[in-house]
Amino acid sequence: MAGLGVTAATPEVDATPVGGDGDGIPPPDLARSFFAWGAASYLVITLVIVAFSVARAGGELVYVIDDPAIHLSVAENLVHHGTWGVAPGHFESASSSPLWTLLLSAWIAVVPGPDEIAPLALNVIAGLAVIAVVAAGQRILWPGLRRPVEAMAVAALVNVVLFLPGLAMTGMEHSLHIALALAGLALLHRAVLGRPRLGPGWLPYALVGLATLTRFETAFLAAGIAVALYLLQPGAGPAGRAGWVSWSRVRWPLLVVASAALPLAGFALFNRAMGQGWLPNSVSAKSAVTRTASTAATFEGALNRFSTDPLVAGLTAVMAVALIVAARRAASWSFPAVVLVVTVALHMLLARVGWYERYQAYLIAVGVYALVCLIGEQLPATSLPPARSLAVAGLVAVMLTLSGNKPAATFRAAEAVGETYDQRYQAALFLSRYYQGEPIATGELGYISLFHDGPITDVFGLGDYEVLQAWGGSAGPPVDGERSAADGRPPAEFWEDLAERRGFAVVAVYPLTLLGVVPESWIPVGRWDLGRLISTAPGPEFEFYATTPEAVGPLRDHLIEFSDELPDRVETELNELAGLRADELAQAGSAGDG
């Protein structure tokens, strides 16, 4: 890669900050100051959010969504039972992030203490790595005590625009994905600019491969990098030294594509060999290519997704316009700009956005990196006049304006934790207490799979390949506002047969989960009602069904007993007709047997 660089015909703009080395690389003080202020603000805000969240969750470390508990469940089973799945001895491709799950397994096996802290600790480390990569690549913000406006701009950029504290509180792999993907992109960018290498030549490709095993959307990023390498390497013009289809021109793009394709293909082959689909169940279920015509991989669907996040749209639009204005005059920012435009196009066409602002988080990080590279040429940190400082802060303020729900999601994380704690966390405690070791069914796999020992049927299909196939290969209920392939939803007879074969007597689901297709033999016994709208789950009500008449009485008694331990915000509502319905079905069964 040392041969890649901006040609003499298209030199990089000289934007050397004070103390720089002459080729546009920020001086150490600039990078250190950005990292110090960004890391300090990130750690303080995250610590405050964690403290309020623990207090809100009765002293427990609970995340804003229950998905991290799925990864923890798989990780614990891998460590203690040698099983990749949510139940010991039964393989299920329930984790969408193989590398994240393996890191959790390593933490559980080596680090003493509660396992629930592992996602938070790994996220904090990954968040610091993201700040370090951005700090090393930017040359526009120089925060300090005498530059408080820029210090506030750095804090806003790190904690709201990049959403790092919010991502940490999801307990998911997105911060790690950003760190790996952004580091790989930055190293390849240095190579394109002809700057000295940092580390061995294979390092950026290894980072792309690891990022792919963290989030499969890295394939879109790899395609964007490949396009940028193809267009912007030396002699990239039509009359350049390398022909359009010559090996010297395509070998580096192909190497990047292979870095993402090989891990993806290896996982797919392994998954198929284990009797599952080509991708993890959750990826297959939630991918835009498996959805109905209104939300699938169509131009209209891509536009709908693109418009849901103003920040992604704004960053992409700015870089696209900059590329058009620059035309064929390549500059140092052209490489990440091309990467962003291509990656966003592929992501919006084939993947999803939303659900606590996390699916598009890596796109925002790439967009921020591209933007600071662009502004760094036009507004370098040279003499640092007040006008420049205010201008930079103003740009950050514009990004904050376009950040949508991110500020609220950051500073209301404790409230979101409370929603998860009041519903799904309590459901996990309930089922683990009264049905430990027994088969159960639920659509909320997270904390329930983590606390409950025994067979679990996931009626949502994310942790249950048989159920996923019954849904037609995509998760049945609406996911993050998008309706699935409802025409392929399982009939009531499927659920009845599944309950009989697997022997689960209790089903704990949101009303929306089964799309109204509930067998007549399943008896609603009770529900928990939060009495308020929530943002981290399908709704404020959580229902409990008995699949046999004999299960009604015990389930009712358990709900009554457990109601005294529920948070005050949760109200237990019992179905007073459940007993009559159980008697009716029991008599009908006796008559049928007779």
Q: How confident is the model at residue 351 (pLDDT cuts 50, 70, 90)?
A: confident
Read off the pLDDT of each residue in 429-444 and give the average, rounded to a whole number. 95
Looking at residue 12, what is its pLDDT? 36
Residue 289, pLDDT score: 43
Strand partners, 526: 544, 574
pLDDT at 383 over 50: no
Mean pLDDT of 20-31: 58
Give the largest CA-CA distance in the chain.
94
Q: For residue 382, how many other CB atoms are within 10 A of its CB?
A: 14
Cross-sheet strand order for the sheet of 440-442: 456-458, 440-442, 506-509, 541-546, 523-529, 571-574
* pLDDT digit string, tens, across residues 183-215: 999 999 998 888 888 889 899 999 999 999 999
pLDDT recorded at residue 381: 52
**Region of 59 on the Ramachandran plot (φ > 0 left; ψ -120 to 50 alpha; else beta):** left
Residue 387, pLDDT score? 62
The more confident residue out of 196 and 73 is 73
User: What was the pLDDT predicted at 391?
Assistant: 72
- Nearest Cα to 366, choosing from 531, 144, 211? 211
What is the separation of C-alpha 69 from the centre of its chain, rounded to a whole number of angstroms? 14
The residue ranking higher by pLDDT, 146 or 578, is: 578
Whether residue 441 contacts residue 456, with contact meaning beta carbons closer than 8 Å, is answered with yes
From residue 283, alpha-carbon distances to 301, 351, 476, 490, 583 in Å are: 18, 9, 13, 20, 42
Query: Could you read off the pLDDT of 218-227 as tens digits, one per residue?
Result: 999 999 999 9
The confidence score (pLDDT) of residue 400 equals 83
The alpha carbon dihedral of 132, 213, 102, 206 has a sign of negative
Give the CA-trace dihedral at 103, 172, 154, 157, to 10 degrees.
140
Reduced to 3 DSSP states, what percent helix, strand and coil does the chain have, rounded to the nearest 5?
60, 5, 35
User: Which DSSP symbol is given to 290?
Assistant: G
The answer to whether the beta carbons of residues 175 and 167 sit under 8 Å apart is: yes
Hunting for tokens 């920020």 — which residue is that?
26
- Higher-pLDDT residue of 282 and 469 is 469
Higher pLDDT, residue 289 or 246: 246
Average pLDDT over residues 510-515: 84
- Res. 116: pLDDT tops 90: yes
Question: Which pLDDT score is estimated for 485?
Answer: 39
Collapse the DSSP code of 345 into the 3-class scheme (helix H, G, I; strand E, B; otherwise coil) and give the result: helix
Mean pLDDT across the chain: 85
Which residues, 6+ apart, have CB-to-CB distance to 540 below 8 Å?
529, 530, 531, 532, 533, 534
* SS3 label, residue 26: coil
How far is it, in rounded angstroms, from Cα 471 to Cα 463? 13
Question: Contact, 185 vs 221, CB < 8 A?
Answer: yes
pLDDT score, position 442: 95
Q: Distance between terminal CA atoms of the chain? A: 80
Q: Model pTM greater than 0.85?
A: yes
Per DSSP, the three-state class of 485 is coil
Q: In this structure, which amino acid lies at residue 225?
A: I
Kindly state the average pLDDT of the residues 280-302.
63
Query: Stretch 283-306: mean pLDDT, rounded?
Result: 64
Condensed to tens digits (0 to 9), the pLDDT of residues 40-66 reads 999 999 999 999 999 999 999 999 999
> How high is the pLDDT of residue 590?
66
Rounded to the nearest angstrom, the gap between the alpha carbon of residue 538 and the centroid of all alpha carbons in its chain is: 18
Residue whose entry in the numeric block shows the structure tokens 């891509």: 302
Strands 440-442 and 506-509, by their bridges, are parallel
Indicate whether 478 pLDDT > 70: no
Mean pLDDT of 380-391: 59
State both tokens at 311.
Answer: 């920040």
pLDDT higher at 13 or 570: 570
Give the pLDDT of residue 244: 66
Backbone region of residue 2 per phi and psi (left: phi > 0; alpha: psi in -120 to 50; beta: other values): alpha
Burial 240-262 (b: 16+ CB within 10 A, else e): eebeeeeeebbebbebbbbbbbe
Domain locations along the chain:
28-411, 418-593
